[in-house]
Chain A
């Protein structure tokens, strides 16, 4: 049995945590009918703006929108300060790690990370060995998935270091909320997120190759309108004020990347690519890729263009490497990790494998390279036969699996048609690393599992999103929060 989840508004279900006092009174004085009206209005706005994730060419192609919940998720300034410190630490370590494994490989020689996990990793790119990138930054844009299970700790569920998406929803959610509830914003003093595109552009420009002019040219590379995140690509290009290019708009001459413009070839200095490594350059990777640019990797290695995120970052964010992240943080920074890892058993280790096999009914077992919920066993939801089949798979190829306990993700109040009810949430803040500093806009994308009891927040499986508010700490009465949490824990006992 999963334990009763921590609710971010009520704590144990009875009180009200200070961060949510405004939300609580707002919900108390607003009828479900009014909420429904606002919800419809929000949906209308999203459709009109065209924030869709499309299955383009689909005969049904009323393009879908991701459900949006109008009840915001709130964190205090203090909570954010901790998170922000932890995110900076984690992403800094990720970058140091990548620079190391494509460089001297000290962490491997020190025996902290097993070498076969690095060099035999399908996402490891030998082409990148010995290449020096501007300021040694590999992960310019990271989306770190965060969960919490109580009011103290934040856990990292996943590091997304390749081409994390969702930031357009963070920005549009805020925009729509401000249109719908100007009064709430006047009262709550919420930290703004709208400067994200400026911060992103500053980050990308700071990492232009040394040979670039002082005003480097940035372009955003998309696989094209058929890609499900195409809306986000065009949205970001628009906000950044940069060209949205496809592979066929680019060509390489003498190891320099150019785009074809109406005024002739124009040199590109930084490519913010939203396309996987495999498809970037048919000469270097998949020869059948028609989305890529022949010669791009050669120009990149020659230092004439920078690519964000770097090629080969995938080795740092797979599920096997995840389990080493606390050690990676300690190794490079000499600090204890601020953000915890979800306890994870590496099935490649015999002791762990034994434990996992004995406790399968209560664990979640995932494939190291899997994503999107495929090839996964959710112990508490599986029947005996499924568990036995999976156990056989596990014994056959233990290296390919990790296991985690089923976590009680925190819940946040969510409007669900008839009224407001707790639903499980996670959070994806976006961490930008430039040559000068790390930038994080206060907030991120909160994803919510709209189905009662569901822990799956993925948009493809009935998940929705919420606006995420970082508010100033409630300053009216410094003692109040403490008193309240004491009385809560007494009540619980």
Chain B
């Protein structure tokens, strides 16, 4: 297929995934900020949300203080933030329009109606209830898109590039959200502290919709190192780094099979997957979790660049 079309599909999937992740992040932040304890601790869950998207610097420059109003504006509706939900949906729609021939009717309709709906919304005068409805709607749009792709697309290179976009974006997000609290994560702390600490950990799990899964997998109270274990190393957790890389490797292998050629992207993905599968939690902590996650985020971005060079340019 045309490189430009593959590139459009790859980024279309990334932007849809990013919109959904940002919605989950805001949902969790709104929930955390409603806890009475948050005021006592003097910590700022809104700032954490911005930090997780890696846009803290540009945010502070534009808004100064992080509060419900400024963060919702920045992450959901801003036309200046290229990763805001609004921007994501706009770029997704532009990309979809450019590759209409590669999308099924169901996928196109989801993206197109999503964008038409998005244009009717704005941050002004949105109360808590309306914000929560809006965020639920964003998640639904993303789920509908995934579902229609999964159910209606031919399993060929177009589909593989779409999946690669989703999983690379998802892995990036999981690593970043964990990184927000990585500096206080050590295996020496047997369990989370009381009060606010507890809520922050549950916030992280909620933003990757893994709170219930945590209890099913461990049947224990929240323990920081187990949260890291779940989000990095457990392959039954669909947003964990290892699960994302299993999918990335599978899709890259399908491409290599169809095209009859392996390349740098396949080698990079397999080596990252191998390291994730062979890793023990202790080793991860020995290296220092923030360093480990920073390293992963760079490696993941490097894979994106390798895919671009091999296929998309």
Contacts and interface: CB of A to CB of B under 8 A. Distances in A.
Interface residues of B, number: 24
A62 B259 CA distance: 40
Contact of A249 (B4, B97, B100, B259): B4
Given A50-B108, A50-B112, A260 B3 contact: yes
Contact of B4 (A49, A230, A248): A248
A259 B98 contact: no
A243 B97 contact: no
B236 interface: no
Contacts of A237: 101
Contacts of B6: 262
A262 B1 contact: yes
B259 A262 contact: yes
Interface residues of A, number: 22
A-B pairs with lowest CB-CB distance, top 8: A262-B311, A260-B3, A234-B100, A238-B101, A262-B6, A225-B97, A263-B259, A249-B4
Given A50-B108, A260-B313, A262-B311, A249 B3 contact: yes
B157 interface: yes
B48 interface: no
Contacts of B157: 262
Contacts of B161: 262
Contacts, number: 48
B312 interface: yes
B307 to A, nearest CB: 10
Contact of B98 (A49, A225, A261, A263): A225
Interface of A is mostly: mixed
Nearest to B158: A262
Given A238-B101, A262-B6, 13 more contacts: A49-B105, A50-B108, A50-B109, A230-B97, A234-B100, A234-B101, A243-B2, A243-B5, A248-B4, A260-B2, A262-B3, A262-B255, A262-B259
A225 B94 contact: yes
29 contacts: A48-B109, A49-B105, A50-B112, A224-B98, A225-B94, A225-B97, A234-B100, A234-B101, A238-B101, A243-B2, A243-B5, A244-B2, A244-B101, A248-B4, A249-B3, A249-B4, A260-B4, A260-B313, A261-B1, A261-B2, A262-B1, A262-B3, A262-B6, A262-B157, A262-B161, A262-B255, A262-B311, A262-B312, A263-B259
B308 to A, nearest CB: 11
Given A225-B98, A238-B101, A259 B2 contact: yes
Interface in A24-75: 48-50, 56, 62
A225 B94 CA distance: 9
Interface string A226-255: 000010001001100001111011000000
Nearest to B119: A61
Interface of B is mostly: helix
B277 to A, nearest CB: 28
Interface in B258-312: 259, 261, 311-312
A292 B247 CA distance: 38
A285 B23 CA distance: 49
A238 B101 CA distance: 6
A1 to B, nearest CB: 48
Interface string B92-116: 0010011011000100110010001
A40 to B, nearest CB: 19
Contacts of A260: 2-4, 313
A245 B259 CA distance: 21
Interface in B10-31: none
A247 to B, nearest CB: 11
Q: Report which residue of B1, B4, B261, B313 has the largest number of chain A beta carbons within 10 angstroms of its beta carbon.
A: B4
Contacts of A244: 2, 101
Nearest to B95: A225
B97 to A, nearest CB: 5
A118 B256 CA distance: 55
Contacts of A62: 116
Interface string A81-119: 000000000000000000000000000000000000000
Interface in A406-433: none
Contacts of A243: 1-2, 5
Contacts of A245: 2
A236 B12 CA distance: 23
A243 B2 CA distance: 7
Nearest to B312: A262
